[in-house]
Amino acid sequence: MDLFKEFAVKDYAAAAAQIPIIDFGPTFAGEPGALSRTAAIVRDACERVGFFYALNHGVPEDLIDRAFAASRCFHALPLEEKLKLRLNENNIGYMPINASVQGASTVHKATRPNQNESFFISHDRGADHPDVLARKPLRGRNQWPPMAIDGMAAMRRDMMAYFDALAAMCDRMLAVFAVSLDMPADFFAPYFANEAQGTVRFLHYPPQDASEDNLFGQAPHTDNSFMTALARTEVPGLAVRLPAGEWFPPPVIPGTFLINLGNQMRRWSNNRFLSTPHGVLNDSGTDRYSIAYFHGPNPDSVIECLPSCVSADNPAHYPPAVYRDLVLDFYRANYFHQKGHASEAATVAAARQ
């Protein structure tokens, strides 16, 4: 596959040094001066590469292990059971292989569907939740397999524990991002109140033939959220495009999450912070699992370029926009269930192949 031939890194040590490891422990512990020190390091990482490793993030390792076990439990279900939970208009549920394409990507022209299956969850809202009753977009309920199936109750418990822990971790990082952008530490907090747009995506990448042209586990793209926190196993496949244009596979560093910024952070910062292209090609010969948590503001939020990032010499490059509209546009460009790229029957047939 021509594009990913660039993944061969000439100087791996130098490339890996491009993604810094940032210790959040002192800041999360409230040590004097830690917030400003961490913000300075985060600022440099976000302006240079748009990725960093988060160390001492506060999420227990056993909780992460249970989340991976829950993911494997779900993906081991018969396809017929998973297809009963097809991804809906709120982007919650199961998405089979061949059901998405990186149509919104500005870094690569995707012509073939992504070779991964995913299970998406969000806040575990009840049927009587006001937003559920009002059928507000992006405020729907999770879809779960029947609890009568062996292991499903524990799977649901562990998936939701992971969602809650990652949402809390990312909320704790908001002050660091605000200070790194020369804004008050509490600036972002109101945007993430009242059930912010958080989503966990439990990904399974079956082995694929890397010789097939333009076929990826996840084609090169940028994320659309405010930030993404990624947990991975040792199976390789992820590659990040460094600022110089070289692709390289970031190593798995124990005790860290790999954090990257999304398009909404780029928009808020008026392009000061990077939303960096990345993609997945699983030519390892074995199954690959990862868990991506996407942290975004409340869907009603209006995203407008920050005053600290706008000047007479650098006017706003984006008009104010409602986050809900930006998210729905992204979904329509990427997911077949949101548009007319393929009929439901065709998508199901492809998933069975």
| Confidence band for 138, pLDDT divided at 50, 70 and 90 | very high
Scanning the chain, the segments in alpha helix (DSSP H) are 12-16, 25-28, 34-48, 61-75, 79-83, 130-133, 152-180, 263-268, 323-334, 344-352
Q: Is 101 exposed, middle or buried (0-12, 13-18, 19+ CB in 10 A)?
A: buried
Q: Find out whether 195 and 123 touch, Cβ atoms under 8 Å.
A: yes
Residue 346: per-residue pLDDT: 41
Q: From CA 189, how far away is CA 211, in angstroms rounded?
A: 46
CATH assignment, 3-352: 2.60.120.330
Residue 24: per-residue pLDDT: 98
Q: From CA 122, how far away is CA 103, in angstroms rounded?
A: 23
Residue 22 has pLDDT above 70, yes or no: yes
Residue with tokens 């868990």: 291
pTM for this predicted structure: 0.91
More reliable by pLDDT, 269 or 107:
269
Residue 16 has pLDDT above 80, yes or no: no
More reliable by pLDDT, 288 or 346:
288
Fill in the amino acid letter for 237: G
Which among 166, 80, 76, 178 is positioned nearest to 121, based on CA atoms? 166
Residue 272 has pLDDT above 60, yes or no: yes
**Strand 51-55 relative to strand 21-23, pairing:** parallel
Residue with tokens 């939020």: 301
Q: Find out whether 66 and 155 touch, Cβ atoms under 8 Å.
A: no
Read off the pLDDT of each residue in 236-240 and give the average, rounded to a whole number.
Answer: 94
Residue 336: per-residue pLDDT: 57
Lowest average pLDDT, out of 159-168, 171-180, 198-207, 323-332, goes to: 323-332
Residue 58: per-residue pLDDT: 98
Residue 158 has pLDDT above 80, yes or no: yes
The upper half-sphere exposure of residue 90, i.e. CA atoms within 13 Å in the direction of its Cβ, equals: 24
> 93: which strand partners?
120
Residue 14: per-residue pLDDT: 56
CA distances for 88 relative to 4, 93, 336, angstroms: 32, 7, 11
Residue 11 has pLDDT above 90, yes or no: no
Residue 13 has pLDDT above 70, yes or no: no
Lowest average pLDDT, out of 12-21, 89-98, 192-201, 335-344, goes to: 335-344
- Which tokens hold the place of 284? 């390892």
Read off the pLDDT of each residue in 277-299 and give the average, rounded to a whole number.
Answer: 96
Domain spans, the chain = 3-352
- Give per-residue pLDDT as tens, 295-318: 999 999 999 999 999 999 999 999
| Confidence band for 344, pLDDT divided at 50, 70 and 90 | very low
Residue 161 has pLDDT above 60, yes or no: yes
Mean pLDDT, all residues of the chain: 89
Residue 96 has pLDDT above 90, yes or no: yes
Residue 335: per-residue pLDDT: 62
Lowest average pLDDT, out of 20-29, 295-304, 336-345, goes to: 336-345
Residue 347: per-residue pLDDT: 43
Residue 112: per-residue pLDDT: 82
Query: Which DSSP category does 251 fall into?
Result: P
More reliable by pLDDT, 214 or 208:
208
Residue 219: per-residue pLDDT: 87
More reliable by pLDDT, 16 or 193:
193
